């Protein structure tokens, strides 16, 4: 095997300190432009019509978490003081190979939302009388005009169900609930999953302005007071749809992935960092090195490679054998692992650059106060090396301010955030 080929691929995925500082600066530029609505930003900067919770929200609410291939409906009791209790939880995948698939282009909105309404019915134990307010975490770019009205702009994460793009998702849900005689369940609020993470962390910990998802998909929101921009608008959380940031230099593998994706030219940043795509980038590289053809690697495979810390890298060799039938030796496995590490590290470094860009936007004159950055998602939580790489990137970009930022895992915030959104007073504006 020619090592130089692997070295070239690794170089293609490497971002040094200057490169991530530049990304942070250009991301900040797009935030500023987005807030001022100059038309130059590649960020959607979607208004959420919600602020931060006080921590004292109380009551029983239904939460629908619709964000990836696993759907959850949860009945939650908010107890105030950052406390809550899950009373009931119903979870189902949206795809069961050989049985059903509600996210492919053959599925339609009614089928999808009827499936969701069935789950709601289970979560309320078939109760068709008691009144429930439902908060909906819907993790796709949606244009909102108030806390209820969120219209799906475009599917991401390779979702393709027909008849949902362009629609008000809560209207589709309401109609499905009505078809099941569940008009006692009233959807009142829709938020993005990043917003849910931020609300959940703010409820439990306080002192947090940024919520982020680092999983199958990737995106970040933050609490915008409009003070640093000198604009007198009502403060609220902004869903940046940071996965759509497109001022990044891409390599030939990114380019190929983009062209072969469901939505070419969209979600450029997300396609470089999120769990849905890292394995594919890796597969393209192996194909170039060894002509393996179209083999699907997932981020779970990447995690498995990164977790092999043995001298012989036997598990890396075993994985390659399982997936591609290639017999490789330790010497080649070292390169394979180094490549996986670089793809993962690029991802972590880009994500952190966006967080730092937010900080520079919020505190243009310095004086960043100590705070948490709340993150949820399988890549952040489970992929080896990610947290270490993120921490290292924070030091490289923020230098003396690095100790002001603490990354914190907000696990399962999607449901809690949805319940909070149903409980909170919305922001008008
Ligand atoms: C969506 C975002 C979402 C993120 C994480 C992206 O594909 O566009 O709205 O927050 O995935 O789930």
Domain range for 157 is 58-191
CA distance 16 to 278: 19
Nearest to 198 by CA among 349, 359, 420: 420
Domain limit, last residue, from 170, 191, 212: 191
Residue 84 lies in a domain: yes
Secondary structure element (H or E) that encloses residue 141, with its range: none
Residue 424 lies in a domain: no
Residue 419 lies in a domain: no
**In this structure, are 224 and 86 located in the same domain?**
no
Q: What is the CATH number of the domain that holds 358?
A: 3.40.367.20
- 185 within 8 A of 124, measured Cβ to Cβ: yes
Find the 161 Cα to ligand 1 centroid distance in Å: 16
Specify which residues 79 forms β-bridges with: 58
Domain limit, last residue, from 145, 162, 191: 191
- 331 within 8 A of 2, measured Cβ to Cβ: no
CA distance 71 to 336: 34
Specify which residues 224 forms β-bridges with: 236
Residue 415 lies in a domain: no
**In this structure, are 7 and 78 located in the same domain?**
no
- Report in angstroms the alpha-carbon separations of 87 from 81, 124, 129: 18, 10, 18
Residue 397 lies in a domain: yes
- Which pTM was predicted? 0.96
**In this structure, are 120 and 238 located in the same domain?**
no
157 lines ligand 1 (CB under 6 A): yes
Secondary structure element (H or E) that encloses residue 303, with its range: helix 299-307
> Among 214, 241, 277, 415, which is best to mutate for testing ligand 1, by the most ligand atoms less than 8 A from CB?
241
**In this structure, are 187 and 206 located in the same domain?**
no
CA distance 217 to 243: 8
Find the 140 Cα to ligand 1 centroid distance in Å: 5
φ/ψ of 53, rounded to 5, equals -70, 160
**In this structure, are 68 and 127 located in the same domain?**
yes
**In this structure, are 99 and 41 located in the same domain?**
no
CA distance 211 to 193: 9
- 242 within 8 A of 214, measured Cβ to Cβ: no
Query: What confidence tens digit (pLDDT) does each residue in 154-201 have?
Result: 999 889 999 999 999 999 999 999 999 999 999 999 999 999 999 999
Residue 423 lies in a domain: no
Provide the pLDDT confidence category of residue 317 given band limits of 50, 70 and 90: very high
Q: What is the DSSP string of 29-57?
A: HHHHHHHTT-S--SS--EE-S-----S--
Q: Is the pLDDT of residue 8 over 90?
A: yes
Provide the pLDDT confidence category of residue 227 given band limits of 50, 70 and 90: confident
Query: What confidence tens digit (pLDDT) does each residue in 155-165 have?
Result: 998 899 999 99
**In this structure, are 18 and 95 located in the same domain?**
no
**In this structure, are 40 and 170 located in the same domain?**
no
**In this structure, are 139 and 226 located in the same domain?**
no
Q: Is the pLDDT of residue 2 over 70?
A: no
Q: Is the pLDDT of residue 428 over 70?
A: yes
Q: What is the CATH number of the domain that holds 79?
A: 3.30.420.40
> Among 46, 151, 192, 244, which is best to mutate for testing ligand 1, by the most ligand atoms less than 8 A from CB?
192
Residue 208 lies in a domain: yes
Q: Which residue's alpha carbon is nearest to atom 6 within ligand 1?
A: 217
**End-to-end distance of the chain based on CA atoms, in angstroms?**
61
Residue 325 lies in a domain: yes
3-state secondary structure 149-180: CEEECCCCCCCCCECCCCCEHHHHHHHHHHHC
How many C-beta neighbours within 10 Å does residue 327 have? 9
**In this structure, are 305 and 401 located in the same domain?**
yes
């Amino acid at each position: 095997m020619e090592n130089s080929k692997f070295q070239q691929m690794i170089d293609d995925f490497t971002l040094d300190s200057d490169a991530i500082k530049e990304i942070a600066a250009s991301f900040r530029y797009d935030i500023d432009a987005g807030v001022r609505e100059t038309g130059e930003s590649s960020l959607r900067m979607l208004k959420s019509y919600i602020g931060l919770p006080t921590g004292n929200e109380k009551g029983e609410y239904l939460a629908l978490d619709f964000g990836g291939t696993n759907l959850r409906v949860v009945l939650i009791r908010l107890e105030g003081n950052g406390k809550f209790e899950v009373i009931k939880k119903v979870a189902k995948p949206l795809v069961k190979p050989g049985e059903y698939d509600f996210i492919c282009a053959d599925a339609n909105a009614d089928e999808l939302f009827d499936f969701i309404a069935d789950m709601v019915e289970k979560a309320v134990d078939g109760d068709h009388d008691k009144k429930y307010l439902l908060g909906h975490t819907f993790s796709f770019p949606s244009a909102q005009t108030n806390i209820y009205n969120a219209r799906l702009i475009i599917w991401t994460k390779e979702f393709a169900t027909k008849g949902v793009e362009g629609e008000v998702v809560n209207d589709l849900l309401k109609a499905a609930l009505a078809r099941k005689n569940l008009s006692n369940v009233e959807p009142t609020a829709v938020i993005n999953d990043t917003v849910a993470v931020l609300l959940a962390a703010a409820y439990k910990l306080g002192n947090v302005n940024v919520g982020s998802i680092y999983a199958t998909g990737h995106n970040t929101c933050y609490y915008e007071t409009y003070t640093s921009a000198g604009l007198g608008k009502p403060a609220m959380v902004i869903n940046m749809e940071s996965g759509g940031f497109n001022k990044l230099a891409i390599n030939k593998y990114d380019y190929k992935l983009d062209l072969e994706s469901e939505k070419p030219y969209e979600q450029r940043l997300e396609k470089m960092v999120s769990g849905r795509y890292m394995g594919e980038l890796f597969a393209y590289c192996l194909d170039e090195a060894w002509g393996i053809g179209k083999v699907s690697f997932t981020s779970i495979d990447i995690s498995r490679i990164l977790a092999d810390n043995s001298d012989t890298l036997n598990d890396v060799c075993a994985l390659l054998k399982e997936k591609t039938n290639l017999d490789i030796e330790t010497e080649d496995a070292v390169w394979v692992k180094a490549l996986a590490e670089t793809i993962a590290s690029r991802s972590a470094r880009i994500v952190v650059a966006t967080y730092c860009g937010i900080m520079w936007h919020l505190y243009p004159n310095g004086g960043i106060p100590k705070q948490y950055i709340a993150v949820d998602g399988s890549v952040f939580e489970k992929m080896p090396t990610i947290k270490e790489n993120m921490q290292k990137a924070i030091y490289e970009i923020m230098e003396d301010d690095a100790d002001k930022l603490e990354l914190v895992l907000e696990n399962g915030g999607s449901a809690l955030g949805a319940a909070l959104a149903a409980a909170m007073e919305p922001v008008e504006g």
